[in-house]
Amino acid sequence: MQQTSTSSTGMSGPQPGTFRVEDAREMMISGLRNAHGLEQQAIEMLERNSERLEHYPELQARIAQHLKESRQQQALVAQALEDLGESPSTLKDTVMGLVQNVQMMTHAAASDEVLKNSFAGYAFEHFEIASYTALMVMARAAGEARVEQVAQQILAQEEEMASWLEQHLPEIVSQHLVLMQSGEQKR
Ligand SMILES: [Fe+2]
């Protein structure tokens, strides 16, 4: 019979004694490196997406907020790596498949760019949610409470951004239609 241990956050992890702590630590460090690269992609994407949003002030403000958060997140991840004795200068910013696809989507400067960027941003936030959820499990298994706490803190911000986008997408689409009718937004 298999048992799962559940923490106060409701997340399960592997049972002690069923895995090697060194493996968890190695995965956690590689997870932190990937997170650093992911935040770099996020920062670049949010910087690009915040342009030409004068007709979407709420979206613009939320993107500006998340850009600021993403810079702080990247700094937290870099600090966590440094605390583990991993030099930030050796960081390789891994570009993952989905991230590349998301970037290709956002490169297209079409009239419905704001919609495509919103879809891509939504997908990206969920990629980050998956990454930080995994990082939390790895950190817990490695016995690195500080890294677990950092991952949890960042995860909460990604979840907030994802749910904001989900809630506001209908308004963004409506606004896009209104702007098309008024000629403010080209077809
Ligand atoms: Fe992020």
> For residue range 112-137, what is the model confidence (pLDDT) as tens digits?
889 999 999 999 999 999 999 999 99
Instruction: State the pLDDT at residue 21.
Output: 95
Q: Ligand 1 centre from 43 Cα, in Å?
A: 8
Query: Secondary structure of 133-174 in the HEC alphabet?
Result: HHHHHHHHHHCCHHHHHHHHHHHHHHHHHHHHHHHHHHHHHH
Which of these, 81, 86, 56, lies nearest to 165 by C-alpha position?
56
Ligand 1 center to residue 81 CA distance, Å? 16
- Look-up: residue for tokens 């932190």? 32
How much distance in Å is there from the Cα of 158 to the middle of ligand 1? 6
Kindly give, in sequence order, each residue whose CB lies less than 8 Å from that of residue 180, ignoring residues fewer than 6 positions away: 111, 186, 187
Query: What is the pLDDT at residue 50?
Result: 87
CB 114 within 8 A of CB 174: no
pTM for this prediction: 0.85
The secondary element (H helix, E strand) that includes residue 122 is helix 113-142
Q: What is the Å distance from ligand 1's center to 18 Cα?
A: 31
Q: Given this model, what pLDDT does residue 6 score? A: 45
* Exposure class string for 59-86: b at 16+ Cβ within 10 A, else e: bbebbeebbebbeebbebbbebbeeeee
Q: Are strands 5-6 and 12-13 parallel, antiparallel or unpaired?
A: antiparallel
How long a stretch of residues is the chain? 187
- Nearest partner of 102 among 129, 134, 73, 126, judged by Cα: 126
User: 42: CA distance to ligand 1 center in Å?
Assistant: 6
pLDDT recorded at residue 112? 84
CA of 103 to the centre of ligand 1 (A): 15
- Tell me, in angstroms, the distance from the centre of ligand 1 to residue 173's CA: 24
Q: How many A from CA of 89 to the centre of ligand 1?
A: 20
3-state secondary structure 56-92: CHHHHHHHHHHHHHHHHHHHHHHHHHHHCCCCHHHCC
Confidence (pLDDT) at 52:
82
User: Which residues does the chain have with pLDDT short of 70?
Assistant: 1-11, 87-110, 185-187
pLDDT at 1: 41
- Distance of alpha carbon 4 from alpha carbon 100, whole angstroms: 35
